[in-house]
Amino acid sequence: MSWNEWEQLKADATARGSARMQLNHIPDGSGGAGKLRSDKKIWTMAGEDTKGLQGDIGKALGKLDDGQSGLGETPGCESAAAQKELYHSWKKYVADVKSRCGELGGLLERSGHDLSKSDAQVKAELDKIAAKYKDTDAVGGQTKDR
């Protein structure tokens, strides 16, 4: 779920005017305050596991490089040129996924250490990651001056 979807859900709940539920507050005397738990260790483990994906992704990138070796220059062969273009596109995409796992894992770890951050601070950090790793445009099926 994206941040915008979450914000829309909160806005919709507010618009309905439900007095029984408020997403950013537990009413006094509701007895619900004792049920809210957050475990710093779990957040840290989730961050470590997410960062740990980088190793497997790195291995996949190595296999991709090995599988691509030997193509060399093939002037006049459009399918080889298209395959090479696809390879470079996916190599960049997978490398960005690897990097994103590291940054997102770090964010999860830090969230576990400091759960007192405001929604705005967490959103700002997520927005930085989203902007840095904005998905690339699709290249397959498009003519590129050919």
Q: What is the pLDDT of residue 5?
A: 81
> How far is it, in rounded angstroms, from Cα 108 to Cα 19?
32
The residues spanned by each domain of the chain are 38-132
* pLDDT tens, position by position, 87-144: 888 899 999 999 999 999 998 888 777 765 677 877 888 888 888 887 766 665 555 5
Alpha helices, DSSP H, located in the chain: 3-16, 40-68, 78-113, 119-132
> How far is it, in rounded angstroms, from Cα 89 to Cα 67?
15
pTM of the model: 0.55
Enter the tokens of residue 56: 């497997």
> How far is it, in rounded angstroms, from Cα 64 to Cα 60?
6
**Amino acid identity of 142?**
Q
